[in-house]
Each structure stands twice: as C-alpha cells, then as structure tokens.
Amino acid sequence: MIRTVSTTPYQDQKPGTSGLRKKVPVFQQPNYVENFVQSIFDSLEGYHGKTLVLGGDGRYYNREAIQVIIRMAAANGFGKLMIGQGGILSTPATSNMIRKYKAFGGIILSASHNAGGPHEDFGIKYNSENGGPAPEKITDRIFEISKKISQYKIADVGPVDLDKLGTTMAGDMTVEVFDPVKDYAELMESLFDFDAISAMIKGGFRMQFDAMHAVTGPYAKEILEKRLGAPDGTARNYHPLEDFGGHHPDPNLVHAKALYDDVMSPSGPDFGAASDGDGDRNMVVGKGIFITPSDSLAIIAANATLAKGYKKGIAGVARSMPTSGAADRVAQKLGVGFYETPTGWKFFGNLLDAGKVTLCGEESFGTGSNHVREKDGLWAVLFWLNIIAARGESAKQIVEKHWAEYGRNYYSRHDYEEVESDRANALVAELRGKLASLPGTSVRGMKIAAADDFAYHDPVDGSISEHQGIRVMFEGGSRVVFRLSGTGTSGATLRVYIERYEPDKTRHDLDTQEALADLIAAADDIAGIRSHTGRDKPSVIT
C-alpha cells in the first residue's frame, strides 16, 4: 500500500517571500510536487497521527496537487487531513482552521496574486501550528532537504471526492472534507459588530466587493450578502475560476481598476473592496478616495476599539519595512509598541505569538491581526465597514480627519517587472556598493541622512535576517526603498517604494505622483533604474 519511490532532487525549490512559486509546467515535471512535499514533511518532527489542514485558492493544478498530497500525507503517517470542500480554502481561513482545530500545520496551494492557468503560476506553502507561514529556519531546512532528497513516500489510495462534505479514509488516515466558509464566518462575527453593519446597509449604504474570480467569492457571498444582508450582486466575480478569468487576481489600482472606477463614478457605491487569489490581500476604496494600505493600517489602529474584538485596545503595531510610517505615529500616540519587520507575513508570527502586537500590515495590500497568523482580506474590509458604521462618517471623512490629526504620508510603489535577472542584480550590487558614501550628499536638493541594507533582529527568537531591502533616508523623513521581489516567477521584479511625510494640513490634497515627483527622480539618480533595467517607466504603479 505504501510505496517508497526513488527520486532525483531539483535545485530550485527555494521558498521565497511566501512559499514556493513557479510556473505550472515546472510543477508538472516528474516528482516536482512529490519532492517538495516530502521535503516539507522531512523538515518537521512529531507529526505522526496528527492533523494537517489542506486547501488552495482554486487555481489550475490545485485539485491534482491535493490528490498527491493526500496520498503522501497518508504514507507519511498523518492521522487526519482536513480539506476545504472543492479544494477551496482561503489563506486566512487555513490559518484559522489550524488554530481552531489544533492541527499540526497546514499546506496552502496558492501563488496568491499571480495569474493562474496552464502556463501561469502555482505555489505551495507550509504553515506551522500557530497558523502562520513557516519561519525562515523551517523554509531554509526545506530547501536544504529538497536539494538532496532521494526518495519519497506515497500510498496507493484512490482519489478522494473533494466536492462531497464528510469523512472518508485514505489508508489509515482520516480525510475530512469540510465547509471552508463556516468557521471563518463565525470568527468574523465574533470580532465585528454585524448588527451595526447590517443596520448601515439597511439604511442605504451601498458597497461592491470584487472577488476577482478567486477564493474569496464564497466567503463574500456568505458574509456580506447572507449574514450582513447586502443585496445580491454586492459580491462580483464570485465564482473561483482556475484561471481567474484570465486576469491577475491582484487587488490594486491596475488589476481592480474597474471596481475603482465604479466607486469613483458619481452614481457609484459608497465603498468598494477587493481581495486577491488566496484571500489575504485587500484593497479598500471609499467614495472619492483610494485608501493606501499603509494608511489603512494606521487608521484601523487608531480606530481599533470601535470593533468588539479589539475593544480592550491593541498591544502594538508591526509593519513591514517598506510600509509607510503612518502607523508608527498612531502607535506612538497610543503609547504602544511598534515594530518594523522584513517583507513577508512570516516575520510577524513571533511578535503576534509573544503578544507584542495586535495589528500588522504591509504596503502590498496586506492587513491583519492576532485573530489568525496570516494577513486577511475580508477581515480588513469588515474592519472598515465596522469603523464606518460606528463613526457614522464616510471613508473619505475618516481618512481626511486622520491626516489632519497625524499628517499624511504620501506613498507609492513602482514595480519594474520581468527585468532580466542579471541587470536587476547588477543594480542592487552597485547600490550596495555605494551605500556608505551616500549619507551627507544631496540629490535634487534633498540631503541624504542615512542609507543602509535593512537587517532585522527578531526581538523574540533573536534570529537575524539580512539584506531585506536598501533604504535611502532623507532629512525630514522622506525615503526611497529598493528591493527585489521574492514572489515572481519570471526574471526579476524591482520594487521601488517612495514615501514623503507631509504634516501641513493645507497640503494634503495633492496628487500622489506629483507630491513624490522629486523623490521619484532622485530614486533614478541614485540607483540608475533606467540605465540598468532599460525601462523608462515602471510596469505597475500602486
């Protein structure tokens, strides 16, 4: 029944910012999935007889990979596998299931915001028993094992019907196919004031949620329409599709432009939101205002006690290094701790587990809290609805009042996608080489106060993560950050993050790109973006 199969290792199974992501044909190579999954299991100890949670964002190859993992989990001695019906389980819902049912861990099949389909992306990520993405010490171990692996274990058990709820056996292992929405919806009801949000919707508040043909469709239908009473049609593109309808399920001003345009039109709804492939990202748009993820984190922090799950206040706030400093000022005012971590949710886990922070956020449309150990798209949307309902003000009023009180961080990210890796690496190497000489010099009339290659010292376990992005800080608090993406699957993506703090209330209504124009030009002067990449403008501006 259980077979041990010989295999040859691949040398490219290094997990990136969030798991292993490759093109589907790469995953379809002989034993590619098997090698990586066995490497995950071999990096762990003590899972015999324990429970593993499994699901994905419904993209192409999801079902095939699930059947392989069922057979391998059975062969490796897991006691129980819990799978979301249809193979569907959002990333935050997976985190919740692991925590709620005290599972040993979970496997998430997703390449998140990347496109899906036979020639697009697939991904595999392991989450630990706290519900969060495996920390670097585990992902490093997985990679080391994957480079040397010589065999894997697999059980000869038939395919499991993923669409039928209930429990079956795969060899000696129990397989439970469960409703992926129910536990998550209950968790949301425990955190937010559903009665107040429903009353606001009954009172005529209109919203639109774009699930982008990805995993949050069923969640939005249940929570927004069924439980909160929003009219049918509030959730759009709610059928998860294997290719996301041919789009990038990436909720930003480029890929969720249709939703943004609707909210901005005179007859549009009061509020719009969207989530990504696996449901952990969020974009929120109020009538007449796009809310940057960095501002969203700060405003949620400032208003947290309006939601019942956060009534007692927050312990602290953490943000990824490239995220704007807007949340820092809220934390300072509240007198709670604030932390700056490298990009990637795995770095928040220790801070959350240690109770040092309650809220976390990333500029890449990621916001979350200690309710799970992942960022959570619908959670952020519900938090905004809760705040709007409790304050009785529009999203625009809330944001503008926030800026008036704390100042505004103008913020933008410029991505140069699919740059030749050699050219991108050369840019970074050259920049690193001149870091020491930058402080004290001026660019475009702005004086550089400091420049470094960000390193993070985890205050909980003492681990150190180096080379997490190059920061150039100007006098007055403006800054430019450069880093290479760890989630792309072809060539390199250079991300340039630009930020300027504006305390003056009378200057809070400028166009973001204009407000940042000097810094954008300075970034090119400092890093030679155009000459290195051969591009004269970014592929995506958010």
Q: Which of 35, 90, 341, 343 binds ligand VG1 (CB under 6 A)?
A: 343
Residue nearest to ligand VG1 (CB): 112
Q: Which of 345, 411, 454, 474 binds ligand VG1 (CB under 6 A)?
A: 345
What minimum distance in Å lies between the beta carbon of 279 and ligand VG1? Answer: 9
| Site for Co ion contains 374 (CB under 5 A) | no
Site pattern 89..118 for Co ion (x: CB under 5 A): -----------------------x------
Both structure tokens of 252:
């930003």
| Site for ligand VG1 contains 127 (CB under 6 A) | no
| Site for ligand VG1 contains 497 (CB under 6 A) | no
Distance, in Å, from the CA atom of 63 to the CA atom of 89, rounded to the nearest integer, reads: 12
Both structure tokens of 324:
């704007």
Residue-wise DSSP of 116-132: -STTSEEEEEEE-TTSS
- Strand, helix or coil at 204? coil
| Site for ligand VG1 contains 294 (CB under 6 A) | no
| Site for Co ion contains 295 (CB under 5 A) | no
Both structure tokens of 347:
């770095």
| Site for Co ion contains 278 (CB under 5 A) | yes
Residue-wise DSSP of 214-248: STHHHHHIIIIIIIT-PPTTSEES-S--TTGGGS-
Both structure tokens of 484:
């290479």
Q: Which residues in the 16-75 window bind Co ion by CB under 5 A?
A: none
Q: What is the DSSP letter of 306?
A: G
| Site for ligand VG1 contains 276 (CB under 6 A) | yes
What separation in angstroms does the CA of 442 have from each of 125, 437, 439, 483, 496? 43, 11, 8, 22, 19
Residues annotated as catalytic (active site), given as ranges: 112
Total residues interacting with ligand VG1, rule: CB under 6 A = 18
Angle between helices 395-406 and 377-391 (to 10 degrees): 90
- Strand, helix or coil at 35? helix
Q: Rounded to a whole number, what is the largest CA-CA distance in the chain?
A: 73
Site pattern 147..186 for ligand VG1 (x: CB under 6 A): ----------------------------------------
Region of 145-153, 341-349, 392-400, 462-470 interacting with ligand VG1 (CB under 6 A): 341-349
Per partner kind, with CB cut-offs from 5 to 8 A, the member of Co ion, ligand VG1, none near residue 18 is ligand VG1
Residue type, 175: V
Neighbours of 258 (CB within 10 A): 14
Both structure tokens of 335:
């007198």
Q: Which of 57, 121, 193, 362 binds ligand VG1 (CB under 6 A)?
A: 362
What minimum distance in Å lies between the beta carbon of 533 and ligand VG1? Answer: 16
Alpha carbon 6 to its chain centroid, in Å, reads 36
Site pattern 301..320 for ligand VG1 (x: CB under 6 A): -------------------x
Contact residues for Co ion, defined by CB under 5 A: 112, 276, 278, 280-281
Contact residues for ligand VG1, defined by CB under 6 A: 17-18, 112-113, 276, 280-281, 320, 343-345, 362, 364, 366, 485-487, 495
